[in-house]
Amino acid sequence: MMEIEMPNGVQAEVKGNEVSVKGALGTNTRRFNDSLLTVSVSGNKLSIVPAESKKLKEKSKTAEVSFAKAVRNDIDGVIKYYEANMQTVSAHFPISLEIKGDTLLIKNLIGERAPRTAYIVGKSKAEVKGQNLRIYGISKEEVSQSAANVRRACRIRFKDTRIFQDGLYFTPQQ
């Protein structure tokens, strides 16, 4: 059995096989397998209990640890944003970035006429300041997937990658 203590300003609610974590920045909802886990809230503690079945013992124990870590990530996300900072690097052609709705347009990458697009996932948000891109949100998975979509959109194929190193790269957080 694992117990997760909720910090001040964060509430958890269990409905069926979903756990909702509410905080100052928003709400994260996560589903769990109710045949493997039993989740309940008492006071400011969330308790996760694995199934008692002998057949499911190992599987429910790993599900318990994984779900506890995911809920901790959700708690951290509603307290402070997860963010990924990226910067454009161009040696040949100047790259420009534009956000339209939930897509990021990467224009003039290695001189291409058509812009490349990257999808910003879920409730994540992106903002462009000059040559810097900041992707932030309350869900670690959504922010990471959005950053991965940007990296995948900038992938240069059929050219020597030692020479054509243009694209968006991660920068350390301040």
- Mean predicted confidence (pLDDT) in 74-103: 92
Task: Take residue 44 and report the two structure tokens written for it.
Answer: 């400011």
Task: Provide the pLDDT for residue 144.
Answer: 95
Measured distance CA(161)–CA(47) in Å, rounded = 50
Of the pLDDT bands very low, low, confident and very high (cuts 50, 70, 90), residue 174 is low
What the chain holds in terms of domains, given with CATH numbers, is 2-79 (3.90.930.12), 82-170 (3.90.930.12)
Task: Provide the pLDDT for residue 159.
Answer: 85
Of the pLDDT bands very low, low, confident and very high (cuts 50, 70, 90), residue 162 is confident
Q: What does the pLDDT look like over 103-156, one tens digit per residue?
A: 999 999 888 899 999 999 999 999 999 999 999 999 999 999 999 999 999 998
Q: Percent of the chain having pLDDT more than 90?
A: 70
- Mean predicted confidence (pLDDT) in 27-49: 90
Task: Provide the pLDDT for residue 116.
Answer: 94
Task: Provide the pLDDT for residue 53.
Answer: 85
Kindly provide the residue ranges of all beta strands, DSSP E only, lying in 25-172, ordered along the sequence.
27-31, 37-42, 45-50, 82-89, 96-100, 103-107, 116-119, 125-129, 132-137, 167-170
Task: Provide the pLDDT for residue 146.
Answer: 96
Q: Percent of the chain having pLDDT more than 70?
A: 99
